[in-house]
Amino acid sequence: MDNDQYRAVLEAAQRHARVWLGSVAEQPIRPEQDADGILSMLDRDLPDDGLDAVAVVDELAAVSAPGLMAMGSPRFYGFVIGGTYPAALGADWLVSAWDQNTGSRQPTPATAAVEETAARWILDLLGLPRESGVGFVTGGTSANLTCLLAARDAVIRASGHDPVRGLQHAPVIRFLAGEAVHTSMVLAGRMAGLGAPQTVGADDQGRIDVDGLARALAQGEGQAIVALQAGDVHSGAFDDFAAAVTVAHDAGAWVHVDGAFGLWAAATPRLAHLVRGLAEADSWATDAHKTLNVPYDCGVAIVRDDAAMTAALGAHAAYLPAVEEIPDPYDRVPELSRRARGVPVWAALRSLGRRGVIGLVEGLADAAAGLADGFRRIPGLEVLNDVVFTQVCLAAPDDAATAALGQWLRAEGTVWASSSRWQGRTVVRFAVSNRGTDAEAVRRTVDAVARGARALGITHDAG
């Protein structure tokens, strides 16, 4: 082990990281160079001889710099991506340095214990059953997949079949969701062998049609899995969990909640009305790099019946440590080897405390409300959704003008927001996920949108 080399390369990485972090809030958000441009600087044959480790880090930073998106900016609103708390970033660096394969409690007791503590805190904050199993996976899609694997095997077992024999020997499982189901949920269903969900309708904000769900469950036969949403990706709307869970459970269905960013509304009493009945579901998924603002990758899969989770995902082999009374980390995720990704979650929660988490979630919701209020004062622009959490969908009088506004904003660089289609219209979607999106960031965002609207002739207001 060359300690001097490790010290030098970590100092180099820290130097480049500090430059990036020091500029990310004020630099243009858009990358200066596209992927092909970066590739043109990298695309050469692998040299016969290697390069000094510090030179490698320096080269990586120099080549990558023009192709980096300032996703950590408080005015980045694309793709529902949060920033990073300092404690979480520091913990993530330690995770890489420790290099612990956190699959089993026996060989990696420190990181396993930290993750178990983070899991207990999450259940407590979100008001979920304390006996639930919690697995730390790569992101929201993998969290949904993990929960669907547990659900799939549980309903197969409930129908009197052995899931070990595979889907080809099991009865058909019905997979139901609202019309506004997120693509992450659709993909997870396909990977779990359930196929794309049968959609049962939704209201104009994307909330599942509970009556439609009841009809679909009554008309079909066999076991069912129902996917609900905590936070629609466009409107931020939450399904009526109290009603939908009751309807699903009355039909014997397993209920899963995709709460990639919205599950954290359960952490604050002010927003608890959005998630009434959520704790009665059977599984939940979230993505800590969104609302909680930890680095990639930190998805969280939660299953009420821990035994069902470990039965579906548990690993067994002669070379693995003997099964203890408490399941190992790899018994709750679809992988054996992995980094200790729950450690940055612990660090974020430890640095925030309960009041800090409440302040974070409410602050994001307040910033979204501030954006909506500011946008409504710009002539010619319209906020299309009911702003109940962290999403704002903005539109001009026609689709062409809306598309042009989105392009103008992303090219100008002060703001980055996604263009999308929602309820038959082109929209510019602002997803507030960064802890740094404060009143000043809101003011600058509204100002940029107003300038864009004037530059494009959407409004001729001189103010």
- Residue 164 sits in the same domain as residue 306: yes
For residue 151, pLDDT beyond 90: yes
Domain termination residue (choose one: 348, 378, 410): 348
- Residue 135 sits in the same domain as residue 215: yes
Domain-embedded: residue 162: yes
pLDDT over 70 for what percent of the chain?
98
Per-residue pLDDT of 67-103, as tens digits, reads 999 999 999 999 999 999 999 999 999 999 999 999 8
Find the range with the poorest average confidence among 84-98, 117-131, 170-184, 321-335: 321-335
For residue 108, pLDDT beyond 80: yes
The mean pLDDT of the chain is 95
pLDDT for residue 462: 47
Tokens for 346, please give them. 């612990």
Tokens for 323, please give them. 């099964």
Domain-embedded: residue 330: yes
pLDDT over 90 for what percent of the chain?
90
- Residue 331 sits in the same domain as residue 380: no
End-to-end CA distance of the chain: 63
Alpha-carbon separation of residue 354 from 22, 23, 120, 279 (angstroms): 28, 30, 13, 19
* CA-based R_g, the chain, Å: 23
pLDDT for residue 322: 66
- Residue 56 sits in the same domain as residue 186: no
Domain termination residue (choose one: 314, 348, 382): 348
Long-range contacts of 268-271 (CB under 8 A, 24+ apart): 268/357, 268/358, 268/361, 268/362, 269/358, 270/358, 270/362, 271/361, 271/362, 271/365, 271/389
Domain-embedded: residue 75: no
Local structure of 451: helix, strand or coil: helix
Domain that holds residue 36: 3-69
Tokens for 448, please give them. 């940029």
Alpha-carbon separation of residue 88 from 211, 442, 459 (angstroms): 43, 25, 43
- Residue 245 sits in the same domain as residue 388: no
- Residue 105 sits in the same domain as residue 246: yes
- Residue 256 sits in the same domain as residue 378: no
pLDDT band at 56 (very low <50, low <70, confident <90, very high): very high
For residue 460, pLDDT beyond 80: no
- Residue 248 sits in the same domain as residue 389: no
Residue positions counted in the chain: 463
Domain-embedded: residue 64: yes
pLDDT for residue 463: 44
Find the range with the poorest average confidence among 63-67, 104-108, 179-183, 386-390: 104-108
What pTM was estimated for this model as a whole? 0.96
CATH code of the domain in which 366 resides: 3.90.1150.10
For residue 409, pLDDT beyond 50: yes
Per-residue pLDDT of 192-245, as tens digits, reads 999 999 999 999 999 999 999 999 999 988 899 999 999 999 999 999 999 999
Domain-embedded: residue 420: yes
DSSP 17: H
pLDDT for residue 320: 79
pLDDT band at 44 (very low <50, low <70, confident <90, very high): confident
Q: What strand order describes the sheet that includes 224-229?
A: 133-137, 299-303, 283-287, 254-258, 224-229, 174-177, 198-199
pLDDT for residue 141: 97
* Number of domains the chain contains: 3
Domain-embedded: residue 205: yes
Which residue shows structure tokens 């979920």? 128
* Beta carbons of 83 and 434 less than 8 angstroms apart: yes
Domain termination residue (choose one: 348, 379, 396): 348
- Read off the amino acid at residue 93: W
- Residue 173 sits in the same domain as residue 306: yes
